Amino acid sequence: MARLRSARIKDLDRLEEVVRAAFAPYTEIIGKRPAPMDAEYATAIRAGRVILAEKAEITGVAVLEIRGREIWLDTLAVLPGVQGSGTGTRLVAAAEDWARQNGARELKLYTNAAMTRNLTYYPRLGFEETHRAKMDGFDRVFFTKKL
């Protein structure tokens, strides 16, 4: 089982590799690179908002974002060969704990409507779909989970 830990700036290159590998299959489906593939993660690492799953190497990433008084699970990425092992579920649980510790009563996220596996995955973890909207040129599906 992978251990979870906070990311350090020296993890940045590997974190970006994991994100690219996790989201690359969606490029053709969406018609462009998914937003997490081009995100800047150094600020989130320095702020202590990145949780990693690691065995011999980093296999999963959860990035949290504070937006006003809300906390968002901004990115969840697990290497394709590790998906289905429970790593993502453990990262989401750790993100929920982080949100609670930082005063949140709910955790929010959005996913791309074309990422159909996510549309059933997040509800299995207790998230409820709240709405859909076009944002930054992407079709987004928004979810919230009460903590």
Predicted confidence at residue 68, as pLDDT, reads: 87
CA distance 80 to 77: 9
Residue 10 DSSP class: G
Residue of higher predicted confidence among 68 and 39: 39
64-91 tens-digit pLDDT: 999 988 999 999 999 999 999 999 999 9
Q: Domain residues for 94?
A: 3-146
Q: Average pLDDT in the 4-27 region?
A: 97
Q: Which two tokens stand for residue 55?
A: 């065995």
Rounded to the nearest integer, the mean pLDDT of the chain is 96
- 62 has a pLDDT exceeding 90: yes
3-state helix, strand and coil shares in percent for the chain, rounded to the nearest 5: 40, 35, 25
Question: Do you know the residue count of the chain?
Answer: 147
CA distance 106 to 59: 26
User: Which residue reads 């809300």 in tokens?
Assistant: 70
For residue 105, the one-letter residue type is: R
Domain count, the chain: 1
CA distance 91 to 73: 10
Confidence tier at 16 by pLDDT (50, 70, 90): very high
Q: Average pLDDT in the 36-47 region?
A: 97
Q: In what order do the strands lie in the sheet with 138-146?
A: 3-6, 50-54, 58-67, 70-78, 106-112, 138-146, 128-135
- 1 has a pLDDT exceeding 90: no
Q: Could you report how far apart the first and last alpha carbons of the chain are, in Å? A: 25
pTM of this structure: 0.95
CA distance 129 to 43: 28
- 120 has a pLDDT exceeding 90: yes
Of all residues in the chain, what percent carry a pLDDT higher than 70?
100
Question: Domain containing 27 — which CATH number?
Answer: 3.40.630.30
CA-based R_g, the chain, Å: 14
Q: Which two tokens stand for residue 69?
A: 């008084």
